[in-house]
Amino acid sequence: MKHTISALVANRSGVLAEMAEEFKSRGLNIRSISSGETENPKVSRMVICFDGPEPEADAACECAPEPTLPPDGIIATVARMDFVIQVDDLSRREFVDRELVLMKVRRENESLSQLMQILEVFRAGVVGLGEKSITVELSGDSERVEGLIRMLSPFGILSMARTGKIALKRGDE
């Protein structure tokens, strides 16, 4: 099962490495991890997307684990880390997510109009143009990014960089 968690953490050296090490020690595959400052420069938000069995991602925690949570669940463990301020299992809530992708795609004159139509449909931007390639950017949810990748694959994707998912809970929470 795919899981997405959001953690507010102290903005200090080594936090990202410690967090990744905890997932590694449990044999959980991190699909993406992003971290950046929040509105408070002393606090960063980490969004971690990972694969794991349902029991591994225990019920959502806020600040400290509730006594009813399994003691060995990754979210409960993360909540107990000294640098963690708050952790939420977004997989169990409504949330909005975005990802950025940059792609360099093979460009041939005979297929350029078809390529441009695809970019227009996805509202992807052209950020670079060479004689043999076109560099495009797109931000959106993972499904939209995956859709553009599928559509551009037949043209030949020469290189690609993805940011990984960033996410926030929907609503007033």
Domain count, the chain: 2
Residue 145: give its domain's CATH number. Answer: 3.30.70.1150
66 and 108 in one domain?
Answer: no
| Stretch 38-53: mean pLDDT | 92
Q: Which of 92, 115, 145 is the last residue of a domain?
A: 92
Q: Do residues 6 and 60 share a domain?
A: yes
Query: Alpha-carbon distance 132 to 108, whole Å?
Result: 7
- In 11-165, where do the E strands start and end? 29-37, 43-51, 84-89, 95-106, 125-129, 133-140, 157-162
- Give tens-digit pLDDT for 117-166: 999 999 999 999 999 999 999 999 999 999 999 999 999 999 999 999 99
Q: Which amino acid is at 80?
A: R
Q: Could you tell me if 113 and 151 lie in one domain?
A: yes
**pTM for the whole thing?**
0.79
pLDDT on residue 54:
58
Question: Same domain, yes or no, for 100 and 86?
Answer: no
C-beta of residue 135 within 8 angstroms of C-beta of residue 104: yes
> Both 50 and 109 in a single domain?
no
What are the residues whose beta carbons fall under 8 Å from the beta carbon of 16, sequence distance 6 or more?
33, 35, 46
pLDDT, residue 61, reads 42
Whole domain around residue 85: which residue ranges?
2-92
pLDDT one-digit tens code per residue, 78-109: 999 999 999 999 988 889 999 999 999 999 98
